[in-house]
Structure 1
Amino acid sequence: MKILIADSMHPSLFNMLDERGWEYDYHPEFRREDIKAALPGYEGLFIRSKTFLDEELLINAERLRFIARAGAGLDLIDLDVVKRMHITLFHAGKGNRDAVAEQALGMLLALFNNILKADREVRRGIWDREGNRGIELMNKTVGIIGYGNNGSATAKRLSGFGCEVLAYDKYRDNYGDDFATESTMEEIMAKADVISLHIPLTNVTRYLINDDFIAGCAKPIYLLNLSRGEIVKLDAVVKGLESGKIRGACLDVLENEKIGKLTEEQKRTFDYLKNSDKVVLTPHIGGWTHESYVRINEVLVQQISEWL
């Protein structure tokens, strides 16, 4: 079996492949056209998210038996084409779930306790205790939308804070556990103080969080998005922050993450968010830890070994 590794990977991967006697070529510098030209000579492909794997790229890869996506999301892979070509698809959802959960808690606690704002002020010589009085996560109702690897790992950590956790997953049944109660979307919108998103980007979930969704929430909410940027319409978040329907937002992902290439409308929205003390922003680093970098490799190689 010959594998093309077309993205930057932690060096631990190479030892894992060597131990199994799998042949591989490491080309993290490959761009789309390079991958397209090389794929016909390989049975396997390791990739992160550098290019969209569509029919035009895959059509001549007649030997390709599997794709290993070093991450959780599959929105940059045409699943219909992969299925039609009988290519097995692996992803590492279990590899970074703990990192995502810790990031979610860290962002939420930073928001609730004004940690970023207070830090900036103290560095400027401002000692404002009352202006940075926080609120407690204890006894809050948290709605988790998407109860797979990341959602369930987040619920587990919330359990230590005395939260009531409600979980909704469109594609699962009987998934309630010790950390979350199986709920409907309507129940979450009626009861949640905090809504955290842990869902893939699909035609169904694109802009799920919009003006109507925010207006439909019974309480003012805190919103967390550590999934995909296009699930949340950011101008709706701005309106929600202005109206008070959104009390605060933790955003690890944005509609357009190429900050230097925003449209004028996107710039106005981003400028509002970046200047708001009610918003915590990070550069898509949920799941991006030193530990998860290795664990993703372990999960993928184990899956492929079992499949073989």
Structure 2
Amino acid sequence: MKIAFLDAVHDSIKTSFVELGWDVQEWFDLSRDEIKEKLFELDGIILRSRIKMDSDFLQHAKKLQFIGRPGAGLENIDSDYCKHKGIKVFRSPEGNRDALAEHATGMLLMLFNNLKRADNEVREGKWRREENRGHELMGKTVGIIGYGYMGEAFAKRLAGFQVKLIAYDKYKSGFGDGVVKEVSLEELKLNADVISLHVPLTDETSGMVCEDFLRSLSHPIYLINTARGPVVQTRALIDALRSGKVLGACLDVFEQESSSFESVHETKKIMQELRDADSVVLSPHIAGWTHESKEKMAKFLIEKITAEFGSQ
């Protein structure tokens, strides 16, 4: 088996493959076109997000058996084409769900307690207690859209805060338990004080949180997005922040991100508007990005790939 690593990942993946006797190549510095010319050689690919795997690209992979991505999202991989061609696609959301859940919880607490502003003010020599009086999570209703690995992990973190947890998932049912109540999207919009997004980026979810979505909410809410940037239309969010329809937002991902997640496009100065907003907490797509999660994502990915191909 000849396997190419297109991005740097945890060393344990390469070590495991070498121990199986596989021919492991590191193609970190090759361009997309250069990789395309060599795809016919490969039985497997390991990548993060640097290279987009669309059908035009993958048609050159004549004997490819699998693609593995340590992480959750697969929007850079044409999964339908892979299924049609019998190419297995592996991911490992089990590995970073805990880190993402902790990060989202931390951002929410930071927002509710004005910690971003308070920290800056204390560093500037300002001591403003009343102006930084916060809100408690206890008693609030938190609505989770998308109840997969990430949504469920986030719910478990919040359960100890004595909040009411409700969740909606278009493609999953029967998940209600003692922690979370399964509801319709309409019921979630009606009751949630906080809405947290945990959906994959698809044609259906792209731009899901738009002007119409925000207008349909029954009362002002706080918004968390640790899923994918394009799920939220940034202009609609900024307008809702200004009008008071959204009281505050926690954003780890951005509509303006590059497909590799390594930078943002400074289009129309919209990112500056987010940076200037006092009621917004920002981070650079690092929810789920811990030392522990890097190792765990690799571990789960190794287990899945070797279970399928370890004897080859």
TM tier relative to shorter chain: over 0.9
Task: Provide the residue aligned with 1:304 in structure 2.
Answer: 305
Instruction: Give the Cα separation in 1 of the matches to 2:113 and 2:252.
Output: 18
Q: 1:260 to 1:63 in 2, by over 3 A?
A: closer
State whether residues 7 and 30 of structure 1, in contact with CA within 8 Å, keep that contact through their aligned partners in structure 2. Answer: no
CA offset at residue 96 of structure 1?
Answer: 0.6
Q: Deviations over 1:70-127 (max 9, x none)?
A: 2111111112211121101101111110111011001000000011110000000001
What amino acid maps onto 2:291 in structure 1? H
What amino acid maps onto 2:149 in structure 1? N
State the identity as a percent.
47
Q: Deviations over 1:123-146 (max 9, x none)?
A: 000010111111011111000000
Instruction: Give the Cα separation in 1 of the matches to 2:59 and 2:254.
Output: 31
Instruction: Give the Cα separation in 2 of the matches to 1:152 and 1:260.
Output: 29
Q: Deviations over 1:23-46 (max 9, x none)?
A: 311222222112212221111100
Which of structure 1's runs of 4+ aligned residues deviate more than 4 A? Answer: none
What amino acid maps onto 1:167 in structure 2? A
Task: Provide the residue aligned with 2:288 in structure 1.
Answer: 287
Instruction: Give the Cα separation in 2 of the matches to 1:167 and 1:261.
Output: 32
- Structure 1: 5+ residue stretches without partners: none
Q: 1:19 to 1:185 in 2, by over 3 A?
A: same
Q: Deviations over 1:270-292 (max 9, x none)?
A: 22211111000100111111111
SS in 1 for 2:188: helix
State whether residues 95 and 293 of structure 2, in contact with CA within 8 Å, keep that contact through their aligned partners in structure 1. Answer: yes
State whether residues 227 and 253 of structure 1, in contact with CA within 8 Å, keep that contact through their aligned partners in structure 2. Answer: yes
1:182 aligns with 2:182: yes
Instruction: Give the Cα separation in 1 of the matches to 2:191 and 2:74.
Output: 31
1:263 aligns with 2:267: yes
CA offset at residue 260 of structure 1?
Answer: 6.2
Q: Deviations over 1:210-269 (max 9, x none)?
A: 1111111112000000011100001111111111110000010111125663222xx1x3
Task: Provide the residue aligned with 2:228 in structure 1.
Answer: 228
Instruction: Give the Cα separation in 2 of the matches to 1:283 and 1:183.
Output: 31
Instruction: Give the Cα separation in 1 of the matches to 2:13 and 2:306.
Output: 13
Pairwise mapping of residues 1-308 of structure 1 onto structure 2 (< 5 A)? 1-257=1-257, 261-264=265-268, 267=269, 269-308=270-309
What amino acid maps onto 2:252 in structure 1? D
- Structure 2: 5+ residue stretches without partners: none
Instruction: Give the Cα separation in 2 of the matches to 1:157 and 1:184.
Output: 22
Instruction: Give the Cα separation in 1 of the matches to 2:158 and 2:38.
Output: 46
State whether residues 139 and 163 of structure 1, in contact with CA within 8 Å, keep that contact through their aligned partners in structure 2. Answer: yes
SS in 1 for 2:73: coil
State whether residues 254 and 264 of structure 2, in contact with CA within 8 Å, keep that contact through their aligned partners in structure 1. Answer: no
What amino acid maps onto 2:285 in structure 1? H
Instruction: Give the Cα separation in 1 of the matches to 2:181 and 2:30.
Output: 45
* CA-based RMSD: 1.3
SS in 1 for 2:196: strand
CA offset at residue 153 of structure 1?
Answer: 0.3
What amino acid maps onto 1:261 in structure 2? H
Task: Give the count of matched residue pairs.
Answer: 305
SS in 2 for 1:200: coil
Instruction: Give the Cα separation in 1 of the matches to 2:244 and 2:235.
Output: 14
Instruction: Give the Cα separation in 2 of the matches to 1:224 and 1:250.
Output: 5
Instruction: Give the Cα separation in 2 of the matches to 1:299 and 1:94.
Output: 7
What amino acid maps onto 2:267 in structure 1? T
What amino acid maps onto 1:149 in structure 2? Y
